[in-house]
Amino acid sequence: MCDTFVALHDATADGSVIFGKNSDRDPNEAHELVLIPRSRHPPGSTVKLTYIEIPQVEETYAVLLAKPFWIWGCEMGANEHGVVIGNEAVFTKVPYEKEPGLIGMDFIRLALERADTARAALDVITGLLAQYGQGGNCGFTRKIYYHNSFIIADPSEAWVLETAGREWAAVRVTSGVRSISNAITIGSEWDLASDGLVSYAVERDWCKGREDFHFARCYSDFLYTRFSAARFRQSCTTRRLREKQGQLTVADAMAILRDHGPQAGPDWTPARGLIGSTVCMHAGFGPVRGSQTTGSMVSRLTPEIQTHWLTGTAAPCTGIFKPVWIDAGLPDLGPAPTGTYDEATLWWRHEALHRAVLRDYVVRLSTYQEERDELEAKFIAAAMEHLDASADQRLAFSTQCFAEAAQATERWTERVRSIRPRSRLPWHYALAWRRYNQRAAFPEPE
């Protein structure tokens, strides 16, 4: 489960385009940040994706990927031309192709490597969809199959693209804000669509014709869409975006990705309840709470320069966003993470803090939350001052931010562990996280 949004020029405080996304995956499915430079490829060469191999293009653009460690593609990313893309799992009545094929994350990377505008990226995805379809297991520890929706944006425009099997519809976002979650949102109006979108539904008696066709109503799988709480989460992001419309900032986008819903007061904790799905997703007990936000991204796009803010870690409510510029390069982040605990990696080092906070979320988070917000605000202000700096200067600044964040994480982890939890966690929540820790060989948090 995930959430993705975009705010266009008229909705932001400075006239930029702002994009944001949380990637929700298995709690041990470590997230990796990767920057791949522009490359040329010999004629006739191929590229091996997560499962299949397809012909490679002559040249691929430089891309910044925020990805599950085991997948070739990414959950969200950007390229050197300022194109950004995030995807959502959507559950439809169209049978899933379970044989290895193209998965949603592969579509994103392929589009970023091959397209210099949002519209061109849409064409890349729909072209590949027509040629190869979409299929294959998308789960890390359990098999899960789904179709995909996307927000695709650049400094000039944005598109929502939603698919069901090989059928699809797309809407151009012309103003304001737009968010998607794990449900089809396009109804009876669209700007572009596959040739068979309506006829496929008519042939299956989902509608009588174009006059009563509604993409979401005709194609959506009711049960999975309902239990994903997609409508609720989309309403949360939409409400918060509209509250700030015309004044939205990068800091506001980060706050939205940390949202736990309108019911979350000062004593809110993810340890409560057997169900519950929030924008900042927290895993718990049972099949309904099997996902955790494992990485987050906010991008500020202008024609002149694009700044990308990434956590590179799980649970944005416990972590910190750091700035990256594609032309400057990515700081040295150490070894790539896997699904097994490794304190040498950025993602797992933060898990020491995150999983310790979960032992008494309200009290332990409060010990450093204000300091975290101040450090992040400092990063944002200083990043704006570096927009005209050279690539080398911006890389040095980005490297400094990652280093300061790492030092702060270590400091906060020690502080949090020094505070004795006030009470025992609910048995079902404690059991769930004990199992997650055991699977990853993660030392039981203090």
| Count of C-beta atoms within a 10 Å radius of residue 443 | 11
For the chain, what are the domain ranges? 3-329
**Can 317 be counted among the known catalytic residues?**
no
Query: The pTM is what?
Result: 0.96
Q: Given this model, what pLDDT does residue 263 score?
A: 84
Residue 37's Cβ-count burial label (10 Å; 0-12, 13-18, 19+) is: exposed
Contact 74, 37 (CB under 8 A): no
Q: Given this model, what pLDDT does residue 222 score?
A: 77
CATH superfamily, domain at 3-329: Penicillin V Acylase; Chain A (3.60.60.10)
Which of the residues 2, 74, 138, 207 is marked catalytic?
2
Instruction: Give the separation between CA 213 and CA 192, rounded to whole angstroms.
Output: 15
Q: What is the chain's length?
A: 446
Q: Are strands 306-310 and 292-301 parallel, antiparallel or unpaired?
A: antiparallel
Q: Given this model, what pLDDT does residue 227 score?
A: 67
* pLDDT tens digit at each of 446 positions of the chain: 789 999 999 999 999 999 999 999 999 999 999 999 999 999 999 999 999 999 999 999 999 999 999 999 999 999 999 999 999 999 999 999 989 999 999 999 999 999 999 999 999 999 999 999 999 999 999 999 999 999 999 999 999 999 999 999 999 999 999 999 999 999 999 999 999 999 999 999 999 999 999 999 999 997 777 767 888 888 999 999 999 999 999 999 999 999 998 888 889 999 987 676 899 999 998 777 889 999 999 999 999 999 999 999 999 999 999 999 999 999 999 999 999 999 999 999 999 999 999 999 999 999 999 999 999 999 999 999 999 999 999 999 999 999 999 999 999 999 999 999 988 999 999 999 999 999 999 998 77
Give the contacts of 395 (CB within 8 A, at least 6 positions apart): 325, 328, 329, 331
